[in-house]
């Protein structure tokens, strides 16, 4: 295959022909079979895989990341907490360790296999009285308005549609409640032609080295990665205040940084 043909193929496959990486106009990838397949396959190795990836990207392990994530918000006695895209329940478990006086934590995820691993973790740490795991979508939270004092979502937002996710989170938070999110942020170099091309080549390598199902899910989510300013705009438009965003820099210029995002309802 000629080099020009290969480049065109990569550009077409990875959607890099435009000048900027744009947010999706369609519905979220959350709940699609691609995401379910990817995380069903990944579930038994999820924590080890994420630990390796965070070490590579930001130089910190998964547990350290969760600790930094939770450092940014007060966890008061009696608090009712929801963790969206809870995965294997790492965040709920860390919350109960750090704040034993909370009322309860609900962990929500769309993937039954991830929740099965999470239930084993909860059972092993004897936190069944504090942690409840629910299968459901962050795009349609199955809870009443004002049901929680704190809502968290760690590293799952790019698999969902930002505006709808934030609307749902704001709805289930009580007045003065805290929202805490963390996700990847696309580096500016990705927005250049050659940056997008290199990203496509890396994803091809990732697909050969790792699971193709996971690559499909992450490819579908790339255009959902937002910048800090975009998240600030979304949160402001949704009526949040006290917005604070902390960046975890990537270890290389081409790596995505991390964003720790905190905001409060009025």
pTM for the model stands at 0.84
- pLDDT tens digit string along 14-44? 433 333 333 343 343 444 788 888 889 999 9
Residue 254 in any domain: the answer is: yes
Is residue 126 in a domain?
Answer: yes
The residues, any chain, with a CB within 8 Å of residue 187's CB and separated by 6 or more, are 195, 250, 253, 254, 255, 256, 257
pLDDT of residue 130: 94
> Confidence band (pLDDT; 50, 70, 90) for 214?
confident
Residue 1 domain-assigned (yes or no)? no
**46 versus 21: which is more confidently predicted?**
46
Q: Which helix (H) or strand (E) holds 200?
A: helix 193-209
Burial label for 25, CB within 10 Å (0-12, 13-18, 19+), is exposed
CB 138 within 8 A of CB 84: yes
Report yes or no: 256 and 228 within 8 Å, Cβ to Cβ: no
For residue 134, give the CATH number of its domain: 3.40.50.150
Task: Map residue 215 onto helix, strand or coil.
Answer: helix
Q: Is residue 195 part of a domain?
A: no
Q: Specify if 177 maps to a domain.
A: yes
Looking at the domain assignment, is residue 201 inside a domain? Answer: no
Q: How many domains does the chain have?
A: 1
Range of the domain at 178: 29-187+225-264
Using the Cα atoms of residue 170, residue 172, residue 175 and residue 179 in order, give the sign of their dihedral.
negative
127 found inside a domain? yes
pLDDT (0 to 100) of residue 223:
74
- Within a domain: residue 4? no
């Amino acid at each position: 295959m000629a080099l020009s043909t290969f480049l065109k193929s990569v550009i077409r496959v990875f959607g890099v022909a435009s000048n900027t990486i744009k947010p999706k106009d369609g519905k979220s990838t959350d709940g699609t079979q691609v995401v379910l397949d990817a995380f069903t396959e990944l579930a038994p190795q999820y924590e080890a895989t994420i630990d390796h990836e965070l070490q590579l990207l930001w130089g910190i392990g998964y547990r350290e990341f969760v600790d930094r994530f939770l450092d940014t918000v007060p966890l008061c006695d009696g608090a009712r907490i929801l963790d969206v895209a809870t995965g294997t329940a790492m965040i709920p478990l860390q919350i109960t360790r750090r704040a034993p006086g909370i009322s309860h934590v609900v962990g929500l995820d769309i993937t039954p296999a991830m929740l099965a691993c999470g239930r084993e973790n909860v059972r092993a740490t004897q936190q069944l009285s504090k942690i409840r795991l629910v299968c459901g979508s962050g795009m349609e939270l199955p809870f009443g308005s004002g049901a929680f004092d704190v809502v968290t979502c760690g590293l799952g937002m790019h698999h969902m549609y930002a505006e709808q996710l934030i609307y749902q989170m704001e709805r289930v938070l009580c007045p003065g409640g805290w929202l805490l999110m963390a996700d990847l942020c696309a580096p500016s170099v990705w927005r250049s032609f050659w940056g997008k091309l290199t990203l496509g080549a890396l994803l091809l390598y990732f697909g050969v080295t790792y699971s193709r199902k996971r690559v499909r899910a992450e490819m579908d989510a790339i255009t959902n990665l937002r910048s800090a300013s975009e998240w600030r705009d979304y949160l402001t438009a949704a009526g949040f205040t006290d917005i604070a965003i902390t960046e975890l820099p990537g270890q290389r210029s081409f790596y995505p940084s991390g964003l720790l995002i905190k905001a409060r309802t009025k």
